Amino acid sequence: MKKMIGISLAMAWLGLIPGITVSGCGGEGPVEPIAQPDNPEGKDDSSRPWWCFPPFCRAPENNEKSGESIYKASRAQLTHALTQTPDGGYVLVGESALTNNDFMALFALKVDARGNKQWIRNFDGKGEDAAHDLVALDDGSVVIVGNSEVVQGESGGDYDAIEGRVIQLDPSGNTVWDRLVGMERHDELRSIARTPDGGLVALGFTHAVGDGDFFLVKLDAAGQILWTRTLGGPDGTDVGKSVKVLKDGGLVLGGTRLQEGKMRAFVIHTDAAGNELGAYTYGDPTRDVSLEDLTLTRDGGVVLAGYVATNFFDAPDRAGWVSRIELSGQTLWTKEIGGEVWDHFASAAPTSDGGIILAGQTRSIGHPGALVNDVLLVKLASDGTLQWRKAKGDGYDNYADCVVQNTQGDFAVGATTMSGLLNFFDVYLLRLAPTGDL
């Protein structure tokens, strides 16, 4: 699997596959990092080799514009999620090659409201480690979910395993607690949310039973596991990607179901205890539909976001896909956006005007024909009407995995950018006006 990750990065640069998506950014001055057991020297690893110069890789300077920051490291870093913290700043998480043990590790990066880097943490693991999502708590701490590889014997079995991982960091980036969560096979956690009782709920998938099921975990505020659920069915492979909490404590779970050779968007509605109340699939009889994220609207609906394609690897035939549904499963509207070359939604969030903001990647606008991806941003009204569609990029590959509307009404986008021909990937943070402009 680790070799496959490296191959996919190279293939993305060559244009053989259009982008990198795993589902859910530099500062203006140097910041003294805080030493940690998982980063004993407190170093931020922001240097570049002596031969680093354009076009082979970006120069060490940030080269930032207003509202746009690039955070450099000496190896690849891929951003998967971000959240705003109570101090107005952001924490971004993902996976990084900054590890002495193996290929990938979890990382967390804290920046202030202006994008200045405050601290970065790398959690060295045993191999296939990544952070996929996080949530901010009222005290400024964050809870991160992802996955870590466990070597023989550590999980109680006689085989290597991938397990879900949940980590709480205090506002300074120090570890409060760190838990492995799994069923001793291949388990990943992709999404996390706060619950009304002060606890947390995380969603991912497990291969402990059948071909694959949604894996739902309830934790208390101290990270202790209260219960787990496997949801789905024996007639498909189900991958959970997004969980949202309703006002009554119930849950909406979203992901993808692979059944009879086709992908479908798959949604499960549960009560607060994780008991299934309804399950629904959405798709097309001739094309793949992949749900990458879901969000709740301000009027109580659910919006699903992802992509539709004749075949997963068909770049010229992929369009952004977004659908509004009710909790009963009824579809109110469905839109396909783009598709001239390649469009893909990875994240959706509600906006203060009742609409929806979507983020992902595109080859249809921005730099069409250049075999590179640009960050894609799309704003919809509450009824699905397209208000604007914009691309952000610089001629290198750029991918957005997360978008939120911040407390000032602007949009913050967590993304990854390729830093030149030698295939460095860096954390990329965009802070945009409500119009989508820098």
291, 308 Cβ separation under 8 angstroms: no
Number of neighbouring beta carbons within 10 Å of residue 273: 12
Residue given tokens 């203060």 in the structure block:
352
Tokens, residue 402: 């997360």
122 vs 38: CA distance, rounded Å: 7
232: left (phi over 0), alpha (psi -120 to 50) or beta: left
* pLDDT at position 329: 96
What is the DSSP pairing of strand 105-111 with strand 90-96? antiparallel
Domain ranges of the chain: 2-58+67-432
pLDDT at 302: 98
Residue in the structure block whose two tokens are 């369009």:
319
What token pair was written down for 397?
């590959």
Query: What is the 3-class SS of 319-346, one letter each residue?
Result: EEEEEEECCCCCEEEEEEECCCCEEEEE
Local structure of residue 36 (DSSP, 8 states): B
Q: How far apart are CA 411 and CA 212, in angstroms?
A: 35
Residue 135: per-residue pLDDT:
98
Q: Which structure tokens are listed for 416?
A: 């990854």
- Check if the beta carbon of residue 319 is closer than 8 Å to that of residue 339: yes
Question: CB pairs under 8 A, 24+ apart, for 394-399?
Answer: 395/367, 395/370, 396/372, 396/420, 397/12, 397/13, 397/19, 397/372, 397/373, 398/361, 398/372, 398/373, 398/374, 398/428, 399/19, 399/20, 399/21, 399/346, 399/360, 399/361, 399/373, 399/375
Contact (Cβ atoms closer than 8 angstroms) between residue 101 and residue 128: no
DSSP per residue, 133-158: EEEE-TTS-EEEEEEEEE-TTTTSSS
pLDDT at residue number 422: 56
pTM above 0.95, yes or no: no
pLDDT of residue 361: 95
b/e per residue, 285-321, with b = 16+ CB within 10 A? eebbbbbbbbbbbeeeebbbbbbbbeeeeebeebbbb
Amino acid of residue 256:
T
- Say whether 315 sits in a helix, a strand or coil: helix
| CATH number of the 2-58+67-432 domain | 2.130.10.10
Buried b vs exposed e over 20-37: b needs ≥16 C-beta within 10 Å? bbbbbbbbeeebebeebe
Encode the chain (438 residues) as per-residue pLDDT tens digits.
343 334 333 333 333 334 433 334 333 222 222 233 333 333 344 444 433 344 444 443 343 445 888 887 766 788 999 999 999 999 999 998 755 555 688 999 999 999 999 999 988 766 779 999 999 999 999 999 999 987 655 545 445 678 999 999 999 999 999 999 986 668 899 999 999 999 999 999 998 776 789 999 999 999 999 999 999 977 789 999 999 999 999 999 999 999 888 899 999 999 999 999 999 999 888 899 999 999 999 888 999 999 999 765 555 579 999 999 999 999 999 999 998 888 999 999 999 999 999 999 999 998 877 778 999 999 999 999 999 999 998 878 899 999 999 999 999 999 999 865 555 789 999 999 999 998
